[in-house]
Structure 1
């Protein structure tokens, strides 16, 4: 089992309430129905007031590294990454 974690920081001028952040969240929520390799999927906005905290979190699981790579290469994932790249900075990692 592979756990994939992505942490996002909004670029200057972006907030959780902004149209772009809300659209990104909606797109993330659709991915489990579009990519069958996803076993579990959690995503959401940070609700604390700590400026040092990350703004958005995605935690997903996959049966194998091959499934994770299939997810990475899926066109639906590519579209969401393009959206995220416009409004976020990110840090990520995979845990086995």
Structure 2
């Protein structure tokens, strides 16, 4: 099992209540329906208001690294990534559990 963790930091001037942020969140919530390789999916805006904290968090699980790499290249995932331009920066990490 591979756990994929992504931390998003909204760009200056963008709030979690903005239309673009909410559209991004809606698209994120829809990815498991579009990508059957996803085993588990939890995402949302951070509940802690702190300048050092990420603004949005994703924790996803995949059966193995092949499924994770297939997810990276899936058209639905690439479309959501395109929404990040001008919205947020991200960091990610993957662990085998």
TM bucket (normalised to shorter chain) is over 0.9
Aligned alpha-carbon RMSD (Å): 0.7
Tell me which residue corresponds to 1:37.
Answer: 37
Instruction: Give the Å deviation of 1:83.
Output: 0.4
Provide the aligned length of Structure 1 versus Structure 2: 96
TM-score w.r.t. structure 2 length?
Answer: 0.96
5+ residue gaps, structure 2: none
Residues 56-91 of structure 1 show CA distances to partners (whole Å, capped at 9, x for unaligned) of 000000001000011011000000001023300111
TM-score w.r.t. structure 1 length?
Answer: 0.97
Are positions 1:81 and 2:81 aligned together?
Answer: yes
5+ residue gaps, structure 1: none
- Post-superposition, which runs of at least 4 consecutive aligned residues in structure 1 deviate over 3 A? none
Matches within 5 A, 1:49-68: 49-68=49-68
3-state SS in 1 of match to 2:86: helix
3-state SS in 1 of match to 2:70: helix
Say which structure is richer in helix: 1
